[in-house]
Amino acid sequence: MGTEYLPIPSPKGGAIEKWIFEVSKSLSKRHEVFVISPIGKGLPNIEVFNDNLIFWRTPIINFGKKIGSVVTAYEYFFRVALAIKKIAPEVVHFHARPHLIPLIKKMIGCSCIVSAHSDISGLSPSRFDRKIALNGLMSASFIHVVSNFIKKTIKGELAEEHPPIRTIYNGVDYFRYTYEKDLDSLFRSRFGMDSKTVILFVGRIEAEKGIHTLLDAFELLMRSKEDLALVLVGPLGGFGYEKLGSYQTWIRERIRFLGRDRVLATGAVSEEELIAFYSLADIFVYPSVFQDPSPMAPLEAMSFGKPVVTSSVGGIPELVENQRTGLLVSPSNPYELANAIMTLAQDPAKRISMGREGRRKVLERFNWKTVAQEIEKLYFAC
Q: Say which CATH architecture domain 15-171+367-381 belongs to.
A: 3-Layer(aba) Sandwich (3.40)
DSSP string, 234-282: S-SSSTT-----HHHHHHHHHHHHH-TTTEEEEES--HHHHHHHHHH-S
Strand order in the sheet with 111-116: 91-95, 111-116, 142-145, 165-167
Q: Report pTM.
A: 0.89
Q: Is 317 helix (H, G, I), strand (E, B) or coil?
A: helix
Residue 121 is given by DSSP the state: G
- Please give the helix or strand (H or E) that residue 81 lies within, else none: helix 67-87
What is the reported pLDDT for 193? Answer: 75
- Radius of gyration (C-alpha) of the chain in whole angstroms: 21
Helix axes 334-345, 211-222, angle to 10 degrees: 60
Q: State the Cα angle at 48 between 59 and 50, rounded to 5°.
A: 150
φ and ψ at 34, to 5 degrees? -110, 130
What is the reported pLDDT for 361? Answer: 94
What is the reported pLDDT for 240? Answer: 46
Residue 284 burial (C-beta neighbours within 10 Å; 0-12, 13-18, 19+): buried
- Please give the helix or strand (H or E) that residue 22 lies within, else none: helix 15-27
Q: Give the separation between CA 56 and CA 271, rounded to whole angstroms.
A: 25
Domain range list for the chain? 15-171+367-381, 174-365
What is the reported pLDDT for 175? Answer: 61
Asked if 15-171+367-381 and 174-365 have one fold, the answer is yes
Q: Give the separation between CA 322 and CA 311, rounded to whole angstroms.
A: 10
Q: 174-365: what CATH class?
A: alpha beta
Q: Give the separation between CA 259 and CA 239, rounded to whole angstroms.
A: 27
Residue 260 burial (C-beta neighbours within 10 Å; 0-12, 13-18, 19+): exposed
Give residue 288's identity as a one-letter amino acid code: S
| Per-run averaged pLDDT (10 residues), the chain, 382 residues | 91 87 95 95 92 93 68 91 95 95 93 92 76 93 96 91 95 67 66 84 94 96 90 75 75 90 89 88 96 94 96 97 98 97 97 96 92 96 89
